[in-house]
Amino acid sequence: MDEYRDKILKVCNESSKNTLMHTLDIEYVDIGENYLVGKMPVTPKVHQPDGVLHGGATVALAESVGSMASYIFMDAQKLLVRGIEISANHIKSVKEGEVYARATVMHKGKTTQLWDIKITDAEDNLISICKLTTIALPRK
């Protein structure tokens, strides 16, 4: 299982080259039966002017991990995955370190998927709670 898990994570990380995920240094670090985890360093490049993690960067992390999870758990050969709605509640500020997004499937339908995404810091403090709806569309 570890070899298969590592292969999936490698593919996820390689697909991020020259994208927003690469720009934000998002890395996919863990995968399970119904979840995917990504991490992002909290540095000045993702700060808002007062020196804390920007909510938009947090949402970009959440949507990146949730969309990638949807892609992994759907038939990617036949389907394209797109985010259609995301919401976020920011609970705590972070100035440095790393934040982790764990996307867990709440509903996996044929067309739409609903993801619960919890953003935590290295000490497992809850930073944000996000909900992402994705849609699976047939490839043409």
Is 33 annotated as catalytic? no
Cα–Cα distance, 31 to 41 (Å, whole number): 19
Token code pair at residue 131: 């909900």
Cα–Cα distance, 116 to 106 (Å, whole number): 6
From the CB of residue 107, how many other CB atoms can be counted at a distance below 10 Å?
10
| 67 φ/ψ sector (left φ>0, alpha ψ -120 to 50, else beta) | alpha
Q: Which of 63, 96, 98, 123 is catalytic?
A: 63
Instruction: Assess contact for 28 and 36: CB atoms under 8 A.
Output: yes
Cα–Cα distance, 18 to 14 (Å, whole number): 10
Catalytic residues: 63
